[in-house]
């Protein structure tokens, strides 16, 4: 006997990402169907219940800005049974950027998304093929004269982002401002940092474990 529960949808620090939480039993899994109507048409991946059952939170992303969406969890139970949650609504906030795409004949764009990193206005941006912003990352702290270059999706749904000054910046005579980050970050869809490796920590690790270059000298990064 399974007793289903009603989920809840909440906003996140990213105005185009919703957090859908629902309690599911042990051995079950859940995905979220979403779209601009109750026909949905889009869906997230599936996540399993924790050991013994409990709350599962899925981050729903890939939505247009300033748009009302319908969402409904689909729970798959052991043995092949499924049930759906009630319909929930969520309205996204304004987008952080816009883009105009010009597609000319005879070119045909491949299906998928456009990933763009902007250096002078530091951000990681994901657009659909019509130029609509679906997701954006901007650092919660000052970047000084650093930028996002580049970023990529990870299998767990997060993004790996390199935040640093341009590689030729000091060669061209530029001075890196104190406090400017030089690091690699894993961030989730809400823009929260999951883990971070900065250059100073990497240097410490290299020294601690005795890494050397081809000439046998200690590797110097900073």
Tens of pLDDT, residues 87-132: 999 999 988 666 666 767 677 778 888 888 875 555 788 988 888 8
pLDDT tens by residue, 183-209: 899 999 999 999 999 888 999 999 999
Bridge partners (DSSP) listed for residue 48: 29
Greater confidence (53 vs 173) lies with 53
What's the pLDDT at 14? 92
What's the pLDDT at 222? 62
- CA pair distance 62, 71, nearest whole angstrom: 13
pTM above 0.95, yes or no: no
What's the pLDDT at 97? 67
pLDDT tens by residue, 132-186: 889 988 766 666 667 788 899 999 999 999 888 776 666 666 677 777 778 899 9
Strand ranges (E), the chain: 8-11, 18-24, 29-35, 42-43, 47-48, 54-60, 68-76, 82-84, 88-91, 114-118, 123-127, 133-137, 147-153, 159-164, 183-187, 193-198
Residue 105, CA distances (Å) to 108, 114, 128 in order: 7, 19, 19
């Amino acid at each position: 006997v399974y007793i289903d529960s009603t989920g809840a949808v909440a906003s996140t620090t990213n105005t185009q990402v919703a957090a859908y939480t629902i309690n599911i039993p042990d051995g079950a899994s859940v995905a979220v169907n979403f779209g601009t109507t109750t026909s949905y048409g889009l869906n997230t991946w599936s996540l399993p219940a924790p050991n013994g059952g409990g709350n599962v939170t899925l981050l729903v992303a890939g939505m247009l800005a300033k748009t009302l969406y319908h969402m409904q969890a689909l729970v798959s139970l052991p043995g092949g049974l499924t049930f759906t949650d009630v319909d929930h609504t969520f309205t996204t906030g304004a987008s952080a950027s816009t883009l105009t795409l010009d597609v000319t004949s005879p070119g045909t764009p491949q299906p998928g998304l456009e990933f763009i990193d902007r250096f002078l206005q530091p951000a990681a941006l994901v657009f659909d093929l019509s130029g609509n912003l679906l997701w954006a990352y901007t650092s919660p702290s000052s970047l000084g004269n650093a930028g996002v270059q580049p970023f990529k999706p990870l299998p767990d749904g997060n993004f790996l982002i390199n935040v640093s000054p341009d590689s030729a910046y000091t060669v061209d005579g530029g001075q890196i401002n104190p406090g400017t980050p030089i690091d690699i970050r894993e961030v989730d869809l809400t823009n929260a940092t999951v883990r971070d490796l900065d250059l100073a920590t990497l240097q410490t690790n290299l020294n601690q474990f005795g890494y050397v270059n081809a000439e046998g000298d200690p590797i110097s990064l900073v």
